[in-house]
Amino acid sequence: MESEKVQQNKLTKWLNKLQRESWQLELVISGFAIFLMAGAYNWLDGFRRSVRMVTSGLPTGGELLNISYSVLMAACFFLLINLILHVLLRGMWISTIGLRYVSGDIDFESLKLAPRFDRFLRKKIGRFDHYILALENICSVVFAFTFLIVFMLLAVGLYLVVFIGFVDIVLKGLLEGVPESVSEPIGITIGILFLISGLLYFIDFITIGYIKRVKWFSRIYLPIYRLMSVLTLSFLYRPIYYNLIDNKFGRRVGLLLVPYVAIIAFIMSEDIQSHTWYPDNPDKVALYNHKYDDQLSETMLIQTGTLPSKFVKNGFLPLFIAYNPRQDNDVLEKKCPDFKPFHEPGIESDLYIQVGNQVPKRRSLSAADTALVCFSQLYEIHIDDSLLTELPFRFHRHRNYDEYGVMTILDVDYLPRGEHLLKVNKWDKNIINKKDTLIMEPFFEIPFWKE
């Protein structure tokens, strides 16, 4: 027992010493984290194109990766904002300590204020030491508050990933082969229960544990709480959360957690509008940079198609059309039902184990030719009012970000000098009379000028 008390006293002294000197660690960590977050935010912003391209053909995996990316972006953003605020407050706190060393406490007598203002300021300002202590408390709470926000965002992201992944992957796999009249109610019921559980956990979190204080509901809520705690990895931030809300000041800060995130998100989404006559979506009467290779932004991923430039300096016009697996795969299966795709959607490894002289089977070149014919059947290409036929297509990875697609070279030497309009239509799947039907619909348009 005595040895345990000695160890506890040593631990207490050590923690008290760290507590007094924690401001130095806070500043070091904040400065280092701000530097890292600024770089990470830019890196994640550039990484968005890779995520969108890789996940374009994954119906569920794409959504999971996109949610993960959005949560990481939000976490980096709030971490950056809050740590900058913390550094500013710590700088203010250090300045007050330096000022106290020079001039001590506030001497209201030397100010010779009128009695009314003297009483008012003494009441509102108080002692300078109390002001320094208040700044110290605010700085420490803001530092902990910052990481609590990050963990909250990560918890929300994990919940969404687990929810979507369970419903779309696990549940569909378990209910495969079960009649729709049975599987659909089961899936809806499980989805609603999962949604209600997450909602209860979220309400309990933002109300500082209100649901956990309801005695008659505790027996029902405890299993839900334990399940949500595992899914959201709350063991990482639970001690911080409860240590924050165990006093009056911390509870006030905890109640501001969700409103603070909502207000910052709302402010960042606001925009000053002064171009009142400019349409939000000019569409066909606009000239977009992302339709021309020489004006593509570094962060822009090609979604439809591009031309090399607005101006055609010779008689040939290269046209790139992007391949979007999520929409195009279903149509390709309808157009070429007997063709077996080269890959299965999902994660694929390049590693293989060779047994004897056995080598992986590779499709013949004729299969690539057949696939190219299938792709060429997806599109109709018009220049002005003329339909172009028998166009030679080639598979092509665009230099912008290695986007997958096809390219054809259009002979436009016969066109007169001036403005022309390239129009591309594409077969798309639509539901008509409760049946999947292919319909030719407008895909994109690009104006260009023949010199």
Residue-level pLDDT at 446: 92
Give yes or no for a contact between 334 and 438, defined as CB atoms under 8 angstroms apart.
Answer: yes
What average pLDDT does the segment 213-228 reach?
88
Q: Does residue 410 surpass a pLDDT of 90? A: yes
341's tokens: 């795709």
Q: What percent of the chain has pLDDT over 70?
A: 78
DSSP assignments along 184-219, one per residue: HHHHHHHHHHHHHHHHHHHHHHHTTSTGGG-HHHHH
Report the relative pairing of strands 316-322 and 305-306 from DSSP bridges.
antiparallel
- At 188 the pLDDT is 77
Is the model's pLDDT at 136 over the cut of 70?
A: yes
Helix (H, G, I), strand (E, B) or coil at 323: coil
Structure confidence by residue, pLDDT tens digits, 72-87:
777 788 888 888 888 8
Residue 373 scores a pLDDT above 80:
yes
What letter represents residue 393's amino acid? Answer: F
pLDDT of 364 reads 61
Evaluate if residue 386 carries a pLDDT over 80. yes
The model's pLDDT over 151-194, given as tens digits with 9 standing for 90+, comes to 888 888 888 888 877 776 666 666 666 676 666 777 778 778 88
Q: What is the pLDDT of residue 35?
A: 72
Could you tell me the CA-to-CA distances from 444 to 191, 243, 271, 293, 304 in Å, in that order? 38, 56, 28, 15, 7
Pairing outcome for strands 435-450 and 418-432: antiparallel
Q: What is the DSSP string of 368-425?
A: HHHHHHHHHTTEEEEETTEEE-SPPEEEEE-TTT--EEEEEEEE-TTSPSEEEEEEEE
240-265 per-position pLDDT tens digit: 888 877 777 777 777 777 787 778 77
User: What pLDDT score was predicted for residue 311?
Assistant: 93
Q: Is the pLDDT of residue 205 over 90?
A: no
Q: What is the DSSP letter of 292?
A: B
Sheet holding 393-397, edge to edge: 305-306, 316-322, 404-411, 393-397
- Calculate mean pLDDT across residues 350-367: 57
| Mean pLDDT (the chain, rounded) | 79
> What percent of the chain is predicted at pLDDT more than 90?
13
Give tens-digit pLDDT for 292-303: 998 887 667 788
What is the token pair recorded at 260?
């603070």
Q: Does residue 57 carry a pLDDT above 60?
A: no
pLDDT > 80? residue 438: yes
The separation between CA 138 and the C-alpha centre of its own chain, rounded to angstroms, equals 30
Query: pLDDT value at position 394?
Result: 92
Averaged pLDDT, 29-50 = 68
Query: Cα separation of 143 and 22, whole Å?
Result: 11
> Global pTM?
0.66
Calculate mean pLDDT across residues 98-118. Answer: 82
**pLDDT on residue 4:** 63
Give the pLDDT score at 359: 46
pLDDT bracket for residue 347 (50, 70, 90):
low
Whether 224 shows a pLDDT value over 80: the answer reads yes
Between 350 and 191, residue with greater pLDDT:
191
